[in-house]
Each structure stands twice: as structure tokens, then as C-alpha cells.
Amino acid sequence: MKIDWLVKLRHFLQTTAFCLAIAGLHLAFKPNMSYDIPLVYSLSIGLTSWLLIDFGRLLFASAWESGWPAGIWGKLLPLTGIALGYVIGTSMGDWWFGWSTWAGASRQQLFLSVLVSVVIGIIITYYFYSAQKGKYLERKVGEATRLATEARLKLLETQLEPHMLFNTLANLRVLIGTDPQRAQDMLDRIVAYLRATLSASRATSHPLAREFDRLRDYLELMSVRMGPRMHYVLDLPPDLADQSVPTLLLQPLVENSIKHGLEPKVEGGTITVRALRDGQRLTLQVSDTGVGFDSEAALSNGFGLAQVRERLTAAYADLGTVEQTSTPGQGTSILLHLPLTP
């Protein structure tokens, strides 16, 4: 199991800072004592206890996930570490100064010294425990968010495809009697689209070229259904074809363009999907020449666009952004910005 030495270094520095503060506090109560005495004992006891507890917890499998051993071991470990740290650290301080704490101190002094060390050790241990537990919970929340996003993606797929298929099959039924050749073309496109969908559903990301191939099958299918009322342009530069993107990222936007942009417009229009390199960012644009909408309606997420925002946030955090502009009667444009993959 791999140890994160950067985290250990941070814990070491934090423990050292605690020890320096404790030595300074001790000096405040005994101003006549030399600072090096509480400093040496504080560092010896504190760092020894930290080594025993912080590295000792990694001997338990449960600590590798949650950061702390489960059950009774999670309570015994700090107590044992503090006790051994006090004994070993005090012995190291005695060796450094050349005297014996055990021989020169009364029982009351020893009891008070042990009590103070245990209380301070428990407080510091609880600080590290809380910080580690917080990070563990943050990871769990992130994992739950990712799983929820994936689940919503699957739901999105199940909502998109039946909606499209039912409309297409209804048109296919009419075309079989009126235009058999066009019905055959539509059926071929359905098969190609479903094959691409099945392949994409088995992965969370794929090359941008596959995303465009899937869009081409979908748009060809819609072209058969809408006829001359719909045109489309797919523009993918060869140097961006291998860029990795989440599956089904653009299709909700394309379907929105057809449903809310082109279909309500008598003469239809054109959908353009293009990929652009913008410095260190990849920009994906989905635009249409449909009916558009006003600025107030543009603030609405709509079905699909909210999903795209969530997926960009889950995949790229603040590096994935969405821009939407629309003009009534002229159309809508949506820009997705995400980092380029190496």
C-alpha cells in the first residue's frame, strides 16, 4: 500500500507546530525555566507519539479507506501511542540533558506530567482524526455525486431514446405505405444509431470522433423524418478527433435544437455542431437557425442542458463551463468549454 509522504510531511510540520506552542505555553507558567527544556521534551514526546499513531494506524486495513482504524483498535491505538510516546520521549529528553526524570520527580509531579501529556495528546489526535475523517467524507460525497450523475445519465439515455424511437417508428409506419425506399433508409439509420448507442453505453467517455459519428447517425435519422426542413453541418478538425469527452454529451443539445428550435419553425433550419481549439481548452458548439427565444427564457436550463452542466462539473469541476445565447427568430447557440486532454 502506497504512503502519501506529502501528507505525512504536513502532519509532521503540524505536530511540530503544536509541540512548539506547548513548550511556549509551559514557559509562560514557568518563566524562570530555560526554554530548551520544555522544547526538547515537548518535541520528543509529541513527535514520538505522532510517529507511533500516524504510521501505526496504517497497519489496519480499514484505515486506508477511512483514515482511521475501525472498532476498538481506533480507541486503543491513540492511547497506546500516547503512553509509549510519553515513556520513549521522556527517556530521549533525559538522555539529551543527562538526568533522570523518574528519579528526581515526586509521584504528584509524575502524575500531573502524564495527565497533561495524555490530555494534550488526545486533543491533537482528535484534531488529526477530524481532519482525516472530513477528507474521507468529502471523498464519499464526491463518489456519491459521481454515481448520481452517472445514474442520471442512464436515466437521460432511457428518456431520450424511447422519445426519439417512438416518434421515428410512427413516421416509419406512415412511410412504409407512402415511400418504401425512404422507409428503408430510415430503418437502416435506426439500426446504425442503436448500434452506436449500445457501444457508447458501455463506457463513460470516448473519443470525440465517436461522439460525432453518433450525432451523424442521429441527424441522418432526423433528416429522413423531417425531410428538406432540416439540414446539418458537422465540423470536427482531425487534430481534435482523439480528444476524450463524456459519452452522450452533445446529443441532448442537438435534440433540444430540433425539438425547440427547428420543429416549431415552418421552414425548418440548420443545425451546426463544431469542435474548436481555444488555447488549452476544447470548445464544442451546438447552434441552430430555429425560432430562438428571449433572454428570460434563456435562463431556463431545460431538459438536457442541466444534465450537460452537471456532467461537465462532475468531470472537469470549474474547468468545464457552458455558455448559452439565443435571439428570437434567429436561433440558439450553446458553447461547451472543457480542458484539452494530453
Judge whether 151 lies within some domain.
no
Q: Are residues 137 and 237 in the same domain?
A: no
Please identify, among 142, 161, 182, the residue that sits at the C-terminal boundary of a domain. Answer: 142
* Segment 162-173 mean pLDDT: 67
Please identify, among 108, 142, 176, the residue that sits at the C-terminal boundary of a domain. Answer: 142
Q: Are residues 37 and 136 in the same domain?
A: yes
Q: Look at residue 332 in the predicted model and tell me its pLDDT.
A: 92
Distance CA 167, CA 87 (A): 79
Judge whether 45 lies within some domain.
yes
Which residues of 138-264 form beta strands (DSSP E)?
205-207, 230-235, 244-246
pLDDT tens profile 221-239? 888 778 889 999 999 999 9
Residue 155 or 108, more confident:
108
Q: Look at residue 299 in the predicted model and tell me its pLDDT.
A: 44
pLDDT tens profile 121-149? 888 888 888 887 777 767 766 666 666 66
Residue 8 or 160, more confident:
8
Judge whether 87 lies within some domain.
yes
Judge whether 158 lies within some domain.
no
Q: The domain containing residue 19 runs over which residues? A: 5-142
pLDDT tens profile 264-301? 998 999 999 999 999 889 999 999 999 988 655 544 44
Q: Look at residue 301 in the predicted model and tell me its pLDDT.
A: 44
CATH code where residue 261 lies = 3.30.565.10
Judge whether 43 lies within some domain.
yes
Q: Look at residue 314 in the predicted model and tell me its pLDDT.
A: 81
User: Above 80 in pLDDT, residue 120?
Assistant: yes
Structural domain count of the chain: 2
Helix axes 36-56, 73-97, angle to 10 degrees: 150
Up-side HSE of residue 178: CA atoms within 13 Å toward CB? Answer: 5
User: Above 80 in pLDDT, residue 95?
Assistant: yes
* pLDDT interval class at 174 (50, 70, 90): confident
Which residues contact residue 102 at a Cβ distance below 8 angstroms, ignoring those fewer than 6 apart?
Answer: 90, 94, 110
10 Å Cβ neighbour count for 164?
21
Of 118, 131, 5, nearest to 68 (Cα)? 131
Judge whether 125 lies within some domain.
yes
Please identify, among 124, 142, 160, the residue that sits at the C-terminal boundary of a domain. Answer: 142
pLDDT tens profile 25-83? 887 888 787 888 888 999 999 999 999 998 888 887 766 566 778 778 888 888 899 99
Total residue count of the chain as it appears in this document = 342
Give percent of the chain above pLDDT 70: 84
Judge whether 276 lies within some domain.
yes
Q: Look at residue 198 in the predicted model and tell me its pLDDT.
A: 65
Q: Look at residue 116 in the predicted model and tell me its pLDDT.
A: 84
Residue 204 or 76, more confident:
76
Judge whether 201 lies within some domain.
no
* Segment 304-333 mean pLDDT: 86
CB distance 288 to 261 below 8 Å: yes
Distance CA 223, CA 232 (A): 9
Q: What is the pTM of this model?
A: 0.54
